[in-house]
Structure 1
Amino acid sequence: MSGSKLRSLWAALAGALVALLLISGCGSPAPQDQKPADPVAEVAFEPGAAAGEVNPTAPIKVTVDRGKFDSIALTNADGKQVAGELSKDGRTWQATEALGYGKSYSWSGQAIGEDGLQVPVQGQFSTLQPKKVIRATINPTDNAEVGIAMPISVKFDEPVKDKAAIQRALTMQTSVPVDGSWAWLSDRQVDWRPKEYWPAHTHISVNAKLYGQSYGDGAYGMADLSTDFDIGRSQIVKAAVGTHRLVVMRNGQQVANYAASYGEEYDPGRNTPNGIFMVMQKNPVEIMDNPRYGYHDVRKTWAARFSNHGEFIHENQENAAALGKVNNSHGCINLSAADAKAYYDSALIGDPIEVTGSASSMPPQFDVYDWLLSWDQWTKKSAL
């Protein structure tokens, strides 16, 4: 083969090789282990995942950013779902019921991101376990109609240490403005009393948010309390010991003036003591005992208790000769049977009884002594 032909052959082979290399290098092979893109949706919990000692009344919610929930549930250890509400945009779910003490809860469901990718909703948390759960009661009860001296009273089964926290959890609304204050009468009782008597026909609503509330020393409230009640007409008993009369004022007008006998004036143990009291209880029949003065199982009718020291307004027909003339009872206010019945029928629990002119006064130490304290003394018993 001539030299020129050989050179031509090598040139052709070189050109073909270059073309083959160009063809084989016009693209790059797909990567074999490329990671898929991360979902854009992000789920956040309140309380955080694996949280412990959560207050069962704390806000419990879950939110998703750059996405919305496709399904969502919060369940307790027994598999029961907690009631909750999903926002209109589908991005926030919040519990609408309080949780239990000492319980564990689990999240489940999934969110769909703006990129169409799914994100699981999962996690757990637990609520606090109190050392002690304390029960409370509230008075007056729902739908009651009471007198103008009636306090609102919240009583606890155990002493309360953090009184300020509990007092902040107590709220009330009145149909007309009323000036008043809470006062702690003991470690187990807090009362609200108006500065002056309630205006007649006031409607009152009270809420005590005690569930989940710390009482101090690891104790917590058992349940929330509430009550709605009404003040009735204004009725005040004017019990001036020296007059031997009992006067009833209703809505500012005198409606009755009964002959009465008060406690023996010269024996401090038998005085009807001075003070502002209120009707605490009404019983058509009351069995009375006073071992100190030698009587037992004495049956009296139309009895309105106004002190846990033992004072009542009641019938004592056997003492008719003294009524309106002599004070000779053992501390109660005696009336005739007819007058006692008339007064009994007119009285509401919470009506004030104002005793004046006695040789002694009642110390503020028995169950209901709200009106035996001056306003200055009362407000100093507030924890706030």
Structure 2
Amino acid sequence: MIERRTVFKAALAVGASVLLAACSSDGDSVAGTPQPAGPAADTPSKAKITAEPAIDAKDAEVAKPVVVKVTEGKLTEVKVSSGGKDVKGELAADGLSWTSSESLGYGKTYTYAAKANDAENKPAELTGNFTTLKPAKEVRATVNPSDNAEVGVGMPVKVEFASPVKDRAAAEKALSVKCSGDAEGSWGWLSDSVVCYRTKDYWPANSTVTVEAKLYGVDLGGGSFGKSDVSTKFKIGRNQVVKIHTPDHAMNVTRDGAAHKSYPCSNGLDSEQARNTPNGTFIVMEKKPAAVFNNEQYHYTNVNKKWACRISNHGEFIHENQDNAANIGKANTSHGCVNLLEADAKHYFDSALIGDPVEISGSTLASPVNSDVKVWFFDWKSWQSKSAIK
């Protein structure tokens, strides 16, 4: 009997011990059972950062902006750098993107260092590099008229490239012209390195013209890329047009559509076509208070004349020729130039702007094909056909 009670008490003691363990309320896991991991310990951030150009990209475009984006989170820091210099850029107000605000350099390696947090404030990072393209040749361009110039209503815009352009359409798409007045215009290629812009009619008087040639990074074909952007902003002056009907021996000037001045003149010799003043619409290209004329074909050199306005690089000027005064207003006897009396030449010279139109008719000689400024020798449809963008 004594032994049996002892065994029963021992068993009861063991059962109580197990019961106490099972009913424990101190918050610990049951002995021998592993604790579940906390959510912040191992779960990765939901924020995903991407970039364009992509990591390890080669030959990236230099004029295209760098864009860093994040999904399911917000960007906290973005750095894009090369050679210790950061690329300028701006983080969007919503924190979802960053966009560069300056062009990249040719043939450089850029490094990304971007950070973001997801909704639970878990961080994500993006690091890596990309490289930009390196052109076989960088081509410089110039634009005319220059900044702040005041020019006549016939003045074309000229963009000239230092090397031939193979992809003319790509180059032309990078060009833009804005006029403060109402003016329809078009680009036209005069050679593989020169493209000009002219209006259908003349520019509106007293308007302002802004030209942008965003050529940096533009693939011009054959491994050549634009070296830099160029631009200009200039003013159109009053509408002044010279009209010469060569048989009339008179140079008439209109101002804003109304008759302004008329000067007696002598034009190219009628009886010798090579000496005719050619037909066509020219512009004043250059002004010289004193000019020296040479023409070995007609046996004269070092002839000094005053108040010369060049209208063609074929050799035609409007200038003083007091030595031909007997024929001025009466007969055409020059070698192709428009001769005026000295006082009239000075008066016209002072009134002229580079880009003023000079319309010549009545001659038997056609417009010179080798003139640099020949945009007005074409009718509108023919000029439009010279555009590379169809």
Q: Same fold (TM over 0.5)?
A: yes
Instruction: Return the alpha-carbon distance in structure 2 between the equivalents of residues 20 and 94 of structure 1.
Output: 68
Matched, 1:49 2:55: yes
- Tell me what 1:236 maps to: 241
Residue 322 of structure 1 aligns to a residue whose secondary structure is coil
Aligned twin of 1:64: 70
Q: After the TM superposition, which residues 249-288 of structure 1 pair with which residues of structure 2 at under 5 Å, given as runs?
A: 249-288=254-293
**1:146 maps to amino acid:** V
Whether 1:342 and 2:347 are equivalent positions in the alignment is: yes
Note if contact 2:53-2:130 (Cα within 8 Å) is conserved in structure 1.
Answer: yes
Q: Contact 2:189–2:386 (CA<8 Å) still a contact in 1?
A: yes
Is the contact between residue 250 and residue 263 of structure 2 (CA under 8 Å) also seen in structure 1?
A: yes
How much has 1:32 moved relative to structure 2?
11
Among 95, 108, 112, which residue is 1:107 paired with?
112
Q: CA separation of 1:241/1:6 partners in 2, compared to 1, >3 Å: closer, same or farther?
A: same
2:214 is the counterpart of 1:209? yes
**What does residue 374 of structure 1 align with?**
379
Within a 5 Å distance, the mapping from 1:1-384 to structure 2 comes to 4-20=1-17, 23=21, 26-30=30-34, 36-76=42-82, 78-384=83-389
* Percent identity (aligned): 44
Shift of residue 355 of structure 1? Answer: 1.0
Provide the TM-score with structure 2 as the length reference.
Answer: 0.91
Please name the residue that 2:25 is paired with.
none
The superposition leaves residues 208-263 of structure 1 with CA deviations (integer Å, 9 ceiling, x where unpaired) of: 22111111122111111222222211111111111111111111222221121111
Shift in Å at residue 374 of structure 1? 1.5
2:81 is paired with a residue whose SS is: strand
Tell me how far apart the structure 1 counterparts of residues 177 and 46 of structure 2 sit (CA, whole Å).
47
Q: What is the aligned length?
A: 380
Q: Offset at 1:155?
A: 1.1
Residues 99-138 of structure 1: CA deviation (Å, up to 9, x unaligned): 1111111122533333233323322111111111111111
1: CA distance, partners of 2:302 / 2:6: 142
TM-score between the two structures when normalised by the length of structure 1: 0.93
CA deviation after TM superposition for structure 1 residue 342, in Å: 0.5
Q: 1:31 to 1:369 in 2, by over 3 A?
A: same
Q: AA paired with 2:113?
A: S
> For 1:103 and 1:30, how far apart are their aligned partners in 2?
54
What are the Cα deviations for residues 315-370 of structure 1, in whole angstroms up to 9, with x where unaligned? 11122122112211111111111111100000011111111111211243321111
What stretches of structure 1 of length at least 5 have no aligned partner? none
Assess if the C-alpha contact under 8 Å between 2:74 and 2:118 holds in 1: yes
CA distance in 2, matches of 1:156, 1:26: 83
The farther-off stretch of 171-180 and 17-26 is: 17-26
Residue type of the partner of 2:4?
R
CA deviation profile, 1:153-206 (whole Å, cap 9, x unmatched) = 111111111111222222222222222221111111111111122222222222
Q: 1:17 to 1:346 in 2, by over 3 A?
A: same
Tell me the distance in 1 between the aligned counterparts of 2:354 and 2:55: 53
Which structure 2 residue ranges, 5 or more long, are not aligned? 23-28
The answer (yes or no) to whether the contact 1:72–1:121 under 8 Å persists in 2 is no
Q: Distance in 2 between matches of 1:185 and 1:101?
A: 30
Secondary structure of the 2:4 match is helix
Is contact 2:314-2:370 (8 Å) kept?
no
Between 45-54 and 117-126, report the one with greater CA deviation: 117-126
